[in-house]
């Protein structure tokens, strides 16, 4: 029972929707935006447990290496380069696929491990909150995301994906049973929503749209959804008081108007998706 929450672009309020909907529905919160995991700022989970995320990288034994260069040829990511004197490794480009070790006839390659991030898990009331944190300077988030999603809690999980439609989002959607697309009424919002719709449709996932920062004078998102026969799960108005609560690191469901809106979205989820939320 994994529901991915994504947006075609950053800044639409995806994490706001994810965290507040988690509180209202009683679903566990999983933050897969590992390059900027800020959901814990609002949920403030306790009893944090941490686990390091490590990836493999090749280590060349110069006493065995004949500089044949087969390892560099097979590497699709240019992590290995043959020079006149040795085999150079660009470890941050290495995907740990072990292809280089397979083709090395001299068995000159072994594999070490290096830390690229951390998994954290804590409690918010009865909810389990998990997030991945990619170390600064690391270019590949997918190994952290995969480790985070490998052992998900039982029950319903809301997966807060990275913004956009990159491989980080694709990796998260592989674990999803449905999706919520968060958008905003703007030209960029509509443009990137279309890309997100195309992505979730390629996975054959049931999905609906939540319009955040809604302006009653702008109906471009509603018009598009009606044309594409896309379910609108809810509309969240643009209010100064909500921005003030959000900017102070609090949940906007503390405001009665917004609590009612999120309860209505939760009810729509139960109607639209073929499973029951907790």
Separation CA 40–CA 245 (nearest Å): 15
Q: How high is the pLDDT of residue 13?
A: 85
Q: How high is the pLDDT of residue 186?
A: 87
**Within the chain, which residues score under 50 in pLDDT?**
none
Q: How high is the pLDDT of residue 42?
A: 94
Q: What is the pTM of this model?
A: 0.91
What confidence tens digit (pLDDT) does each residue in 210-257 have?
Answer: 999 887 778 889 999 999 999 999 999 888 888 898 888 899 999 999
Q: What secondary structure does DSSP assign to 43-88, as a single string? A: H--EEEEEEEEEEEEEEE-TTT-----HHHHH-TT--EEE-SS-EE
Q: How high is the pLDDT of residue 1?
A: 83
Q: How high is the pLDDT of residue 274?
A: 62
Residues contacting residue 262 through CB under 8 Å, at least 6 positions apart? 20, 21, 24, 234, 253
């Amino acid at each position: 029972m994994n529901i991915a929450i994504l947006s075609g672009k950053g800044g639409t309020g995806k994490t706001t929707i994810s965290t507040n909907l988690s509180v209202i529905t009683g679903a566990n919160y999983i933050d897969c935006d590992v390059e900027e995991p800020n959901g814990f700022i609002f949920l403030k989970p306790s009893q944090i447990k941490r686990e390091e995320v490590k990836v493999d990288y090749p280590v060349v034994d110069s006493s065995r290496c004949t500089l044949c260069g087969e390892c560099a040829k097979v590497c699709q990511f240019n992590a290995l380069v043959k020079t006149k004197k040795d085999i150079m490794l660009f470890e941050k480009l290495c995907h740990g696929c072990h292809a280089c070790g397979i083709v090395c006839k001299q068995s000159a390659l072994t594999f070490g491990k290096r830390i690229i991030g951390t998994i954290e898990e804590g409690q918010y009331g009865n909810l389990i909150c998990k997030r991945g944190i990619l170390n600064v300077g690391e270019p590949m988030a997918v190994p952290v995301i995969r480790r985070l999603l490998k052992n998900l809690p039982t029950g319903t999980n809301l997966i807060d994906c990275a913004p956009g439609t990159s491989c980080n989002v694709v990796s998260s959607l592989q674990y999803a049973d449905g999706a919520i697309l968060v958008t905003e009424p703007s030209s960029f919002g509509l443009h990137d929503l279309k890309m997100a719709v195309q992505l979730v449709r390629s996975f054959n996932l049931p999905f609906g749209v939540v319009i955040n920062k809604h302006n009653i004078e702008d109906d471009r998102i509603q018009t598009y959804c009606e044309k594409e026969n896309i379910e609108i799960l809810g509309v969240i108005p643009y209010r100064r008081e909500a921005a003030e609560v959000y900017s102070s690191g609090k949940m906007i469901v503390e405001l009665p108007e917004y609590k009612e809106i999120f309860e209505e979205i939760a009810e729509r989820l139960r109607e639209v998706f073929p499973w029951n939320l907790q």
